[in-house]
Structure 1
Amino acid sequence: MNLQHWISLFAEQVQNTSFPEWIAVAFGVTEVLLARKNNILLYPAGIISTIITTWLMFSVKLYAESLLNAYYLIMSIYGWVYWIKKRNTSPIPVSYTSKKEWEITALIIGVGWLFLFSALKYFTPSTTPVWDAWVSCTAWAGMWLLAKRKVENWILLNVSNLFAVPLLFHKELPLMACLTIFLFVVAISGYFDWKKIAGPRQGNNNDGGTFSKKTASA
């Protein structure tokens, strides 16, 4: 397919994009930009985007995508609650991922990939079960680290983004691919911003994590 084909396809997608889709994309971009700034408002923005996206996916009978977005919704609510300041306590600080948390992350990726691959291969007409499962399970792990305010969440999210871009082009969804490229660039910036907030690695906490003296803005 030549460049003219992709330009025409992109223009056609923009023209045919529904109002709810634009709202979902707008709040999705807002969520990432707020996450980069380490602002707790990223979660309500993400919840709005995810609810609309879940409805859109279900309406076109993409049930697996609906399930994935339902997971995002649950993780967004969990992350919002986790970030909320409690009386007489400090905000949860940005920190680096501990050894135990890396083990949980690996488990999320491994079990998540096996579950999604099996579901896509045996219960859906998916033509890319391996790739689809990998994009989703790394996003799951990244969302979990984001909810825990871990610097490395950006790495996992960008692993997902990196594989999602060619997948979206393969599925002839250039508009979504371009959005993912934008999110990829923002996530790189977010990673370095969060490293500045966390500061240099310091002493271990009880479960092996390394916390900064700085706390995040809520």
Structure 2
Amino acid sequence: MQHWIELFTEQVKATTWLEWAAVILGVAEVLLARANKVWLYPTGIAATLISIYLLLNAMLYAECLLSFYYVVMSVYGWYHWIKKRHLPAVKVRFANRQEWLITLLIVFGGWGVLYVILVKFTPSTVPIWDSWVSSTAWAGMWLLARRKVENWVLLNISNLFAIPLLYHKNLAMFALLTLILFIVAVFGYFDWRKIARQENSSAN
């Protein structure tokens, strides 16, 4: 146990200012998401652009693709959330059967495609794990962009596997950030579930 603590301490000391910036922005993003605030998107975009550079240096190529996808989905989600000024914001809802099918397709289809890409075209040392973390996060972000309660479930599946992966790649602060995101996402799920139920009751 002491060895792991010492290793973590060494990694924290070696953390660059870019990593700190990405971590701070990442924490701010998930807190804004939990609070149901649209500013989660520009904050997340800034954090992700920094992360792309750092993850590329760590040879986590699937997560780099995930980060690029996140930027695209954040722009889409930002627009989808606000829509036009004269229209009401998109409400928090539970995913329907069609959306669940699309979610599962993103998870398992994306996992397979990313694994093949990593094995064939990159020197990745963790293709199975890297591709799984990314595909589950892809699905979660798609649900988040559509403001579905279940986005938190998919994002936390990704977080659960990402924590040891990031630590393995000597990104201790990113691993710590992901642990924080995991905890906040648990509360986010229950918050959004409450909102969705209240909105369903109002609609009925």
1:117 aligns with 2:129: no
The structure whose Rg is larger is: 1
For residue 16 of structure 1, what is the amino acid of its counterpart?
A
Structure 2 unmatched ranges of 5 or more: none
Q: Does 1:189 align with 2:194?
A: no
The one of 97, 100, 125 aligned to 2:98: 100
Contact 1:31/1:45 (<8 A) preserved: yes
Structure 1 residue 125: Cα displacement: 2.5
Q: 1:95-128: per-residue Cα shift (whole Å, max 9, x none)?
A: 0001111111111112211111111122223232
Find the residue that maps to 1:72 and give its secondary structure.
helix
In the alignment, what sits opposite 1:10?
Answer: 8
Judging changes above 3 Å, is the alpha-carbon distance between structure 1 residues 172 and 18 closer, same or farther for their aligned structure 2 residues?
Answer: closer
CA 130–64 in structure 1, closer or farther in 2 if over 3 Å, else same: closer
In 2, Cα distance between equivalents of 1:65 and 1:192: 27
User: Which residue number corresponds to residue 71 of structure 1?
Assistant: 69
Identify which of 144, 162, 165 aligns with 1:164. Answer: 162
Q: Match of 1:199, SS?
A: helix
Q: Which moved more, 1:47-56 or 1:61-70?
A: 61-70
Match of 2:43 among 39, 42, 45: 45
Residue 18 of structure 1: how far off its partner (Å): 1.2
Task: Provide the rounded CA distance (Å) in 2 between the counterparts of 1:83 and 1:213.
Answer: 20
Q: Percent identity?
A: 58
* Residue aligned with 1:193, SS: helix
> Which is richer in helix?
2
Shift in Å, 1:6: 1.6
Are the counterparts in 1 of residues 160 and 182 from structure 2 also a CA contact under 8 Å? Answer: yes
Structure 1 CA distance for aligned equivalents of residues 145 and 64 of structure 2 = 21
Structure 1 equivalent of residue 173 of structure 2: 175
- Matched with 2:24 is 26
* TM norm structure 2: 0.90
User: 2: CA distance between counterparts of 1:198 and 1:51?
Assistant: 31
Give 1:162 shift. Answer: 1.3
How many residues align structurally? 203
Q: Give, as a single letter, the amino acid of the residue that structure 1 aligns with 2:176.
A: C
2: CA distance, partners of 1:174 / 1:22: 11
Q: Which residue of 1 aligns with 2:141?
A: 143
Q: Is the 8 A contact 1:198 1:213 kept in 2?
A: no
Contact 2:163 2:179 survives alignment (8 Å): yes
SS in 1 for 2:120: helix
User: Shift in Å at residue 213 of structure 1?
Assistant: 4.0
